[in-house]
């Protein structure tokens, strides 16, 4: 079996040979490949993979950060609850997510009851110990919602703990990104599907991309060689005039996914239209509690609603366009000026999966780039 460095070297060489053929096949000046996972963007930027790509190939970050599109109204509602004495549990990457009233970090500084947790099980344990009114901030895509649905399904959640569900589904966001690129007249050419999400919903969930849109599609893992192998496969399909789904991440992702886990999600939640911050309401893109599980729903318990507000993003902020892949962080006037990882004013700078945060922390090369130079392929 080849080592990781050798796979990187071979992949880069293959990409450089295939790209001219792909450009000719498509009669284009640029091939655009979009990935739909914040961890993939981390892999690309942290390792300097874009610097290895020949001119005419773009690796584009799509809507792969759920924190980045979580509505400000959800943050505002939890700020109010925390200041009223309700204990609010939140992941570390939403702690500084700005609403229109500040962030949960702001609420805590003002005396609000906010506690950062690693996951829902931590919130369950703490709520059982303290026995006070508590709300867990449910943020994430398909991967994260599983960790909440399962304990609820199993009856492990105490009565004093509710969940504010801001969960979103990946595919509708990707569809909106595809439409955005078509709208600017430079459509996408291939998709690298998210490995974490696919481990839950299965590789077959992405069959519609080659079948309906004609996109070569690869489910990829998160090592640099995983990503580069996915790029090679997409270019190979373009050259051969194919559009297929390939599961590169078969060591983790099964065709059908984790059927038992997703069954629990669909038992507890139902699919509804949902608002994506700065992007709009996307049909059948969110999850809300079913009537039979309404006792866990913080929205019903406190009469809350997740909806657009007047100030979802700072004036001129490019976060919505960045999430759709039609703008880069460097296009935003706030990037690394007013908006930094330590002082985020836009949602894309908050989470470790946010494209702006990744570019601010890791932009400008990486270990793989150094190895490529040593190997003489740069």
CATH code for the domain of 218 = 3.40.50.11750
* Domain residue limits at 287: 69-169+259-301
Residues (pLDDT < 50) of the chain are: 1, 365-366
- Domain contains 323: no
Q: Are residues 165 and 220 in the same domain?
A: no
Q: Are residues 61 and 187 in the same domain?
A: yes
Tell me if residue 4 falls in helix, strand or coil. Answer: helix
Q: What is the pLDDT of residue 105?
A: 97
Judge if 104 and 195 occupy the same domain: no
Q: Looking at the structure, do residues 239 and 265 belong to the same domain, yes or no? A: no
Same domain, 164 and 175: no
Q: Output the pLDDT for position 2.
A: 67
Q: What is the pLDDT of residue 310?
A: 82
Convert the pLDDT of each residue in 227-264 to its tens digit.
Answer: 999 999 999 999 999 999 999 999 999 999 999 999 99
Number of C-beta neighbours around residue 343 at 10 A:
9
Helix (H) or strand (E) segment spanning residue 289: strand 280-289
Tell me if 10 is assigned to some domain: yes
Count CB neighbours of 364 within 10 A.
Answer: 9
* Same-domain check for residues 46 and 73: no
**Other C-beta atoms within 10 Å of 329: how many?**
25
3-state helix, strand, coil in the chain (%, to 5): 45, 15, 35
Phi, psi of 71 (to 5 degrees): -60, 145
354, part of any domain: no
Residue 123 is assigned to a structural domain of this protein: yes
What are the backbone dihedrals phi and psi of residue 270, each rounded to the nearest 5 degrees, phi first? -125, 155
According to the model, what pLDDT value does residue 359 have? Answer: 97
Q: Does residue 349 sit within a domain?
A: no
pLDDT of residue 375: 55
Looking at the fold, whether 91 and 143 belong to one and the same domain comes out as yes
Q: Is residue 341 part of a domain?
A: no
Instruction: Quote the CA–CA distance of 51 and 32 in Å, as a whole number.
Output: 15
Output the domain CATH number for residue 131: 3.40.50.11740
Pair 58, 180 in one domain? yes
Q: Which residues contact 320 (CB under 8 A, 6 or more apart)?
A: 277, 278, 279, 313
224 and 269, same domain (yes or no): no
154 and 34 in one domain?
A: no
Work out how many domains the chain is built from and give that number.
Answer: 2
Q: Give the residue from 189, 218, 91, 213 showing the smallest Cα distance to 143.
A: 91
| Domain-embedded: residue 195 | yes
Residue 18 lies in a domain: yes
The residues near 54 (Cβ < 8 Å, ≥ 6 apart) are: 15, 16, 19
Last residue of a domain, one of 271, 301, 331: 301
pLDDT of residue 200: 98
pTM over 0.75: yes
Count of other CB atoms within 10 angstroms of residue 6 = 12
Q: Do 53 and 99 have their domain in common? A: no
Q: Do 297 and 283 share a structural domain?
A: yes
Q: In 83-194, at which residue ranges do the beta strands (DSSP E only) sit?
A: 87-90, 114-116, 134-140, 161-167, 190-193
């Amino acid at each position: 079996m080849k080592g990781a460095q050798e796979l990187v070297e071979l992949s880069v060489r293959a990409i450089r040979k295939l790209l001219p053929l792909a450009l000719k096949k498509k009669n284009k000046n640029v091939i655009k490949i979009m990935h739909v996972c914040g961890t993939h963007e981390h892999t690309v930027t942290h390792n300097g993979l874009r610097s290895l790509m020949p001119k005419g190939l773009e690796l584009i970050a799509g809507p792969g950060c759920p924190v980045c599109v979580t509505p400000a109204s959800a943050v505002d509602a939890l700020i109010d609850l925390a200041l009223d004495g309700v204990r609010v549990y939140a992941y570390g990457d939403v702690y500084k997510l700005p609403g229109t009233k500040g962030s949960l970090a702001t609420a805590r500084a003002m005396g609000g009851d906010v506690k950062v947790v690693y996951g829902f099980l931590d919130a369950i344990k703490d709520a059982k110990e303290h026995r006070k009114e508590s709300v867990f901030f449910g943020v994430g895509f398909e991967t994260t919602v599983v960790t909440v649905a399962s304990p609820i399904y199993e009856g492990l959640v105490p009565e004093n703990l509710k969940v504010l569900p801001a969960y979103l589904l990946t595919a509708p966001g990707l569809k909106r990104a595809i439409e955005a690129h078509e709208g600017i007249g430079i459509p996408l050419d291939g998709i690298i599907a998210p490995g974490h999400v696919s481990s839950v919903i299965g590789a077959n969930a992405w069959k519609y991309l080659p079948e309906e849109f004609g996109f070569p599609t690869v489910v990829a893992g998160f090592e640099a060689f995983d990503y580069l192998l996915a790029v090679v496969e997409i270019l190979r399909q373009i050259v051969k005039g194919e559009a297929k789904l390939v599961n590169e991440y078969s060591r983790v992702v099964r065709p059908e996914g984790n059927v038992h886990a997703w069954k629990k999600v669909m038992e507890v939640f139902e699919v509804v239209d949902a608002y994506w911050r700065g992007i709009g309401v996307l049909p059948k893109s969110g999850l809300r509690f079913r009537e039979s599980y309404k006792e866990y729903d913080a929205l019903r318990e406190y009469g809350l609603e997740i909806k657009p507000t007047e100030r979802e993003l700072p004036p001129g902020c490019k976060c919505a366009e960045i999430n759709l892949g039609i703008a880069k962080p460097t296009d935003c006037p706030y990037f690394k000026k007013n908006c930094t990882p330590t002082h985020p004013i836009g949602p894309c700078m908050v989470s470790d999966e946010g494209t702006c945060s990744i570019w601010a922390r890791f932009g400008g090369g990486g270990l793989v780039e150094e190895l490529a130079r040593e190997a003489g392929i740069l």
